[in-house]
Amino acid sequence: MVVKQPPALLGVGLVAALLVGGGARGGARAEAQELAPLVTMCAGGSSTLIAPCQSTILAVQSIRGGISIAAASGSELAGTSSTLGRRLGRTPRVSLAARFKATVFDIPDVLGSGAALLSQTSVAAYSIKATAAVGVLDGFSTLPSVGGFLSLDLIGSLNLVFLQEGDGFSENERLISIGGRLGLLRESFTMPGVTVSLVRHYGEDLNWGDVTTTGASLNADITTTSLRATIGKDVLAIALLAGAGLDWQKGYFDVRVADPGVAGGEGVLVGQNMTTRRPVYYVGASLTRLIFQMSLEAGWAGGFSTLDGFQGEYDPEGITPFVNLAFRLTI
pLDDT 10s digits, 104-147: 999 988 765 544 456 788 999 999 999 999 999 999 988 877 88
**Is the pLDDT reported for residue 23 higher than 60?**
no
**Is the pLDDT reported for residue 5 higher than 70?**
no
Using the CB atoms, write b or e for 220-230: b if 16+ within 10 Å: bbbbbbbbbbb
**Is the pLDDT reported for residue 2 higher than 50?**
no
Q: Which of 88-92, 199-203, 274-278 has the weakest average pLDDT?
A: 88-92
- Mean pLDDT score across all residues of the chain: 85
**215: confidence class by pLDDT, cuts 50, 70, 90:** confident
Question: Which amino acid is it at 31?
Answer: E
**How far is 240 from 182, CA to CA, in rounded Å?**
19
260: left (phi over 0), alpha (psi -120 to 50) or beta: alpha
Contact 119, 323 (CB under 8 A): no
Residue 16's SS3 state is helix
Contacts of 40 (CB under 8 A, 6+ apart): none
**How far is 292 from 22, CA to CA, in rounded Å?**
32
**Is the pLDDT reported for residue 154 higher than 60?**
yes
Could you tell me whether strands 320-330 and 151-162 are parallel, antiparallel, or unpaired per DSSP bridges? unpaired
Q: What is the pLDDT of residue 288?
A: 94
209: left (phi over 0), alpha (psi -120 to 50) or beta: left
**89: confidence class by pLDDT, cuts 50, 70, 90:** low
Q: What is the pLDDT of residue 111?
A: 65
Burial of 98 per CB tally in 10 Å (0-12, 13-18, 19+): middle
Nearest one of 240, 231, 235 to 285, comparing CA atoms:
240
- φ, ψ dihedrals at 15, nearest 5°: -65, -45
Contacts of 81 (CB under 8 A, 6+ apart): 75, 187, 192, 193, 194, 195, 230, 231, 232, 233, 239, 241, 243
pTM of the model: 0.87
Q: What is the pLDDT of residue 31?
A: 44
208 vs 23, residue with greater confidence: 208
Instruction: State the CB neighbour count (10 A cutoff) for residue 41.
Output: 16
The DSSP letter of residue 113 is S
Q: Domains for the chain: give ranges and CATH numbers.
A: 7-330 (2.40.128)
Q: What is the pLDDT of residue 136?
A: 94
